[in-house]
Structure formats: C-alpha cells, structure tokens
Structure 1
C-alpha cells in the first residue's frame, strides 16, 4: 500500500481499455468530414462505441492522431480513415487504434491482434 492509499486518497487515472493492434487501413478519404470507420463486429470485440475518441498510431510511419469512431458494416474488414487524418495515415498502413477510459483501479484492456485482412488473430 502506498502513502496515498494509506491516507484514503483514490486517484482516477486514464488507462488503456481497448486496442486493435496492427489493423490495416483499407481506405483513406480526405474529402469525408472526419473520423475512422470500423466494422461493427470489431467495435463490439474491442468494446468501442460510435463517437468514442480513439488514438490512432501508424506503425508504418509513426504518425499519431486523435479522432472518433464511426460504425461500419460488420464482417467486412474495412477500416477507413477520413478527413484531414487521411493526410497523415494512408491506405495500406498498419495502425494501432487505442481507446482509453478512467478508472481508480487497474484495468485489463481488450487487446486484439489483427491479421492482414483485419481479422482477429488473438483477443486478450
């Protein structure tokens, strides 16, 4: 027990709750108004909501950006990056899509490892 726990203080921390690791961007559309579209089945597996803020980090280039999730048709494997974000992350790039939450206790995040067609290879 650390000093803060002994004194009765609780700290709320921002922690990783969901991650789609090594997902592939299948389309990029600069003209769309913004967001990242993720198939509904992958959203459910990663516990993501429409409109939820996510951090998208390109494993290919190192570019990082925040945007929000749009629900895409299930079972397509299509992950689309839209708007200005499509200038930073392009079609064919591998990305990590991460969502965070607030908790006063450690969380075990949903960690999905994605294959070449955005199929789930491992779900921890």
Structure 2
C-alpha cells in the first residue's frame, strides 16, 4: 500500500504577481525550490491564507533571489498580489518509507526569501 504524505511546504509566501493571460501555473523563486526540494512541473496545492481559496496547479521556475510567487492563468483568479499562500506538495510513500519520512517546511521572510528550512519533527 502507498500512503500520500506531505513532501514539502512553503509557509506563508506572499503573491508577487497574478497574470490571467498566461497559460497557467505558479512561478516560484528557484531558491525556494532548492530549499524545499520542489521541482519544476510538479503538482502543487495552494491554500490562500488571505481569502480561504484552495486550488492546484504546477510549478514553473522564477529567477533565483527574485522572491517571485506568480499565479498565472486561471490560478490568478484565486489570489491577489500581496495575499499569503501556503504551497504544498504531496508524494506517495511505501509504509516503510512513511515510517521515516519527514516533510520539509520552508519559512520565509517578508521578501519571500528562505528564512529557515526544516525537516518537520527534527530538532
């Protein structure tokens, strides 16, 4: 049996751009991708802390150090620039893998720069 568990999350990142005329996806600063282990084209779930919207899309890379969190296409209707999001990715693990799996949680500063990346449950 495979279990679906949280792989990684970007906690309380701020939307920097919303573009309805783009063909869909979420641009994420490459530094945040590195810190979290998230990958380009990976399926993500987004939770808008500011308005309660929940939606999904996939990742595209934004320039390293830019702090960019851009919502494109239909996703741009779900948040406004300045809204706070939690971005999560889930992966499947065998029962043995699940026993030792700990998700990565990336906390950011006010410019969406990684402040701290931690493995949840680690000291």
TM-score norm. by structure 2 comes to: 0.89
Q: Is residue 31–residue 114 contact of structure 2 (8 Å, CA) maintained in 1?
A: no
Instruction: Please point out which of 71, 84, 97 is paired with 1:81.
Output: 71
Aligned residue number for residue 91 of structure 1? 81
| Count of residues in correspondence between the two structures | 114
- Alpha-carbon distance in structure 2 between the residues aligned to 1:119 and 1:73: 12
Runs (4+) of structure 1 exceeding 4 A deviation are none
Aligned residue number for residue 117 of structure 2? 123
Unmatched tracts of structure 1, length 5 or more = 1-10
* Cα RMSD after superposing both structures: 0.9
Unmatched tracts of structure 2, length 5 or more = 119-123
Q: Is residue 25–residue 94 contact of structure 1 (8 Å, CA) maintained in 2?
A: yes
Q: Deviations over 1:16-36 (max 9, x none)?
A: 001000000001001111000
Larger radius of gyration: 1
TM-score norm. by structure 1 comes to: 0.88
Which structure shows the higher strand fraction? Answer: 2
1:52-91 correspondence runs (5 A): 52-91=42-81
1:44, distance to aligned residue in structure 2 (A): 1.1
1:1-124 correspondence runs (5 A): 11-104=1-94, 105-106=97-98, 107-124=101-118
1:87, distance to aligned residue in structure 2 (A): 0.7
